[in-house]
Amino acid sequence: MDLPENLPEQAVGVEQDVPPVPVEVDAAVLLLGAGVTAITHPMLYVKLLIQVGHEPLPPTVGTTMFGRRVLYLPGFFSYAQHIMKVDGKRGLFRGLSPRIVSSAISTVVRSKVKQVLSKKDEQQASLKNVMKETSHEMIIQCLSRVATHPFHVMSVRCMVQFVGREVKYSGIFSCIVKIFKEEGVAGFYVGLIPHVLGEVLFLWCCNLLAHFINTYAVDESFSQASAVRSYTKFVMGIAVSVLTYPFMLVADLMTVNNCGLAVGLPPHSPIFQSWLHCWNHLSQKGHLFRGSSFFFRRVPVTSLPANED
């Protein structure tokens, strides 16, 4: 039997030119996804704590460019430093494991569903094709969300334990046992409905708005028309994400609602009967966009006296 080093150079060359198999490509994508998830996790962690209304640091008095005095709440860096003081640098990565698993499952599900739905039809910039593409994206997003939501619930509950300093949820397997024992299968899907509604609304609004702008607002005679069209969907995504943000906020709050952690119980938070109850509560308080910004978070102060020279 010939060893690899004894094979003809031509045969070796042929083997070297063979493109990588799909398994290797998938592994690379999974590793990249895990890396991005790990890098961005501290930002998501801080955002989540702001969403649930946890403000451990006192605000500071500042003045706007128009001379109005306001209270500035701590930004991302101040909040992250506070977490490191309490839990150390590793504390910034609390709840990371379920997110990495969720990212991997999402990648696999999306890849498999795309293979089933993809067709090699010629794509034309027509409303019919846009609606067809968006429908496929919606199916992919919904299936991905259903598959990964249990891990989202685990991750969120692990992170918000910072508020009450609990240790109820730790590893993935212990989280699965704890949630199933206390809440059953339904416990893995709390907050799913507003999350799915927000993502579906985002997809349809973003794709349809981008199509109408590219079709009716961008003039073909404009020399940079193709360049403008390439950025339209990205810009629309930013704009639409602002409008759909309350759905994501409500979904995260319902994830921790009445789960045995301090952050989801009175006096920190009322017990919500449904996600609509949660939405109405936030709307009345003016908190539907709480946590949407990392910086320049301010609370207007009407009781402070005006500056006097």
Dist. CA 141–CA 159, nearest whole Å = 24
* End-to-end alpha carbon distance in the chain: 95
Q: What letter would DSSP give residue 218?
A: S
**Mean of pLDDT values over 146-154:** 96
**Mean of pLDDT values over 29-48:** 93
> In the chain, which ranges are E strands?
60-63, 69-72, 298-300
- pTM of the complete model: 0.83
- What is the structure's pLDDT at 124? 60
Where along the chain do its domains lie? Answer: 21-119+129-300
**Mean of pLDDT values over 216-229:** 68
- What is the structure's pLDDT at 153? 97
- Is the pLDDT score of 226 beyond 80? no
| Percentage, residues of the chain above pLDDT 90 | 58
Q: Which two tokens stand for residue 31?
A: 């590793």
- What is the structure's pLDDT at 37? 94
- Is the pLDDT score of 191 beyond 90? yes
Nearest CA to 74 out of 65, 85, 89 is that of 85
- Is the pLDDT score of 82 beyond 60? yes
Torsion, Cα 52 55 61 64, to 10 degrees, reads: -30
Query: 10-34: per-residue pLDDT in tens?
Result: 444 444 454 444 444 478 888 998 9
- Is the pLDDT score of 142 beyond 50? yes
- What is the structure's pLDDT at 125? 67
CA 179-183-186 angle, to 5 degrees, is 100
Q: Chain centroid to CA 293: how far? A: 14
CATH number of 21-119+129-300: 1.50.40.10
- What is the structure's pLDDT at 215? 80
Q: How confident is the model at residue 120 (pLDDT cuts 50, 70, 90)?
A: low
CA 43-101-89 angle, to 5 degrees, is 40
- What is the structure's pLDDT at 72? 85
**Mean of pLDDT values over 158-175:** 93
